[in-house]
């Protein structure tokens, strides 16, 4: 089973490898195959992690080891060696909120992140499945997900401590050599992703599986705006026949991009948010707002 219980005190801790050369990564990850499909926990750390920021570390969690892929020391050659796996349908990347990581990989390294299982999306789908409603722009944080007793039920104070360090020094992840705290902070998240993955996959029904795949694909590309309408990205998964024949086919998912000129976002939002709220109410849209330097913006999905 991929992703053992990270709370098992009797289990031996998996080794953490700092990777500066592609030869240090597992061969099955570098050479993907339909006969050897993989599920890996996946995360990235960096400075202003987006198209214009700096990706510093890419974390990969396997059943038997955690790999910290050092983009500062290994450079573009190392990250591009991971490109086939990150774009592969044979490697499932389990991640919490893929949007900015995908943007950084796309614009900094030309990598089109594909086949993600986004636990933030899965959480919302399971909530809907079980009859609980949420606001469209109410997203579960990773710390919040870990605190949920249905998944982990733990307080992740260490994450808050790292966030405090990042607020004090935004360049934190660029420093080398990596300190013990940096290594532990980077490696802590990804084993939980594999553990949560299995719990969620058992809860999701067929309809939610399709939504998970589609929304994961859309979220990967939502900040990767280009001039060719995503023609060189993998196609969006079609609605499966078994969902159509049930007579209650799911609604099509639509990604709409609005690239707002600098300084004009206020016109889109409107006075006291009136314009943006009107759009939400009229088309039941999920709206993410963000700019070139930071967290979400410029996207409508409905």
Q: Which tokens hold the place of 123?
A: 């959480």
What DSSP string describes 28-86? HHHS--TTS-EEEEEEEEEES-STTSEEEEEEEE-SS-EEEEEHHHHHHHHHHHTHHHH
Q: What is the mean pLDDT of the chain?
A: 86
Dist. CA 196–CA 185, nearest whole Å: 19
Q: What is the pLDDT of residue 14?
A: 92
Tell me the C-alpha to C-alpha distance, in Å, between residue 276 and each of 262, 264, 267, 295.
17, 13, 9, 18
Indicate whether 11 pLDDT > 60. no
| Greatest Cα pair distance in the chain | 58
Sign of CA dihedral 217, 220, 223, 224: negative
**Higher-confidence position of 196 and 264:** 196
Q: What is the pLDDT of residue 226?
A: 80
Would you place residue 253 in the very low, low, confident or very high pLDDT band (cuts 50, 70, 90)?
Answer: confident
Which residues, other chains included, contact 85 with Cβ-Cβ below 8 Å and sequence gap of 6+?
29, 30, 32, 38, 91
**Higher-confidence position of 78 and 135:** 78
**Higher-confidence position of 120 and 133:** 120
Q: What is the pLDDT of residue 283?
A: 60
pLDDT digits (tens, 9 = 90+) for 139-188: 899 989 999 999 999 887 777 778 888 999 999 999 999 999 999 999 99
pLDDT digits (tens, 9 = 90+) for 234-252: 999 988 888 887 667 777 7
**Backbone phi, then psi, for 24, in 5-degree steps?**
-85, -5
pLDDT digits (tens, 9 = 90+) for 20-46: 999 999 999 999 999 999 999 999 999
Indicate whether 10 pLDDT > 60. no
pLDDT digits (tens, 9 = 90+) for 184-202: 999 998 999 999 999 999 9
Helix (H) or strand (E) segment spanning residue 194? helix 180-203
Dist. CA 204–CA 87, nearest whole Å: 24
Residue range 197-211: average pLDDT? 96
Which residues, other chains included, contact 103 with Cβ-Cβ below 8 Å and sequence gap of 6+?
49, 50, 51, 223, 224
Residue range 97-111: average pLDDT? 97
Dist. CA 268–CA 25, nearest whole Å: 46
């Amino acid at each position: 089973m991929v992703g053992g219980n990270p709370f098992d005190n009797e289990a031996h801790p998996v080794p953490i490898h700092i990777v500066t050369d592609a030869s240090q990564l597992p061969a099955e990850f570098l050479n993907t195959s339909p006969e050897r499909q993989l599920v890996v926990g996946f995360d990235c750390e960096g400075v202003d992690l987006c198209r214009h920021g700096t990706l510093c570390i890419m974390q990969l969690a396997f059943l038997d080891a955690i790999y910290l892929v050092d983009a500062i020391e290994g450079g573009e050659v190392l990250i591009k060696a991971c490109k086939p796996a990150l774009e592969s349908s044979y490697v499932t990347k389990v991640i919490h909120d893929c949007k900015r990581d995908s943007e950084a990989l796309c614009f900094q390294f030309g990598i089109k992140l594909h086949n993600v299982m986004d636990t933030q999306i899965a959480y919302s789908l399971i909530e809907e499945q079980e009859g609980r409603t949420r606001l469209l722009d109410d997203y579960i944080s990773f710390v919040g997900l870990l605190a949920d007793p249905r998944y982990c039920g733990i307080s992740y104070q260490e994450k808050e401590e790292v966030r405090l360090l990042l607020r004090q020094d935004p360049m934190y992840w660029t420093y080398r050599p990596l300190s013990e705290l940096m290594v532990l902070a980077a490696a802590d998240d990804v084993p939980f992703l594999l553990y949560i993955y299995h719990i969620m996959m058992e809860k999701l029904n067929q309809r939610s599986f399709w939504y998970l795949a589609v929304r994961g694909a859309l979220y990967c590309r939502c900040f990767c705006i280009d001039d060719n309408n995503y023609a060189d990205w993998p196609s969006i998964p079609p609605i499966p026949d078994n969902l159509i024949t049930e007579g209650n086919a799911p609604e099509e998912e639509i990604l709409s991009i609005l690239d707002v000129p600098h300084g004009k976002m206020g016109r889109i939002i409107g006075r006291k948010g009136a314009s943006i709220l009107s759009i939400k109410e009229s088309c039941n849209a999920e709206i993410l707002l963000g700019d070139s330097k930071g967290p979400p913006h410029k996207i409508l999905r409905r």
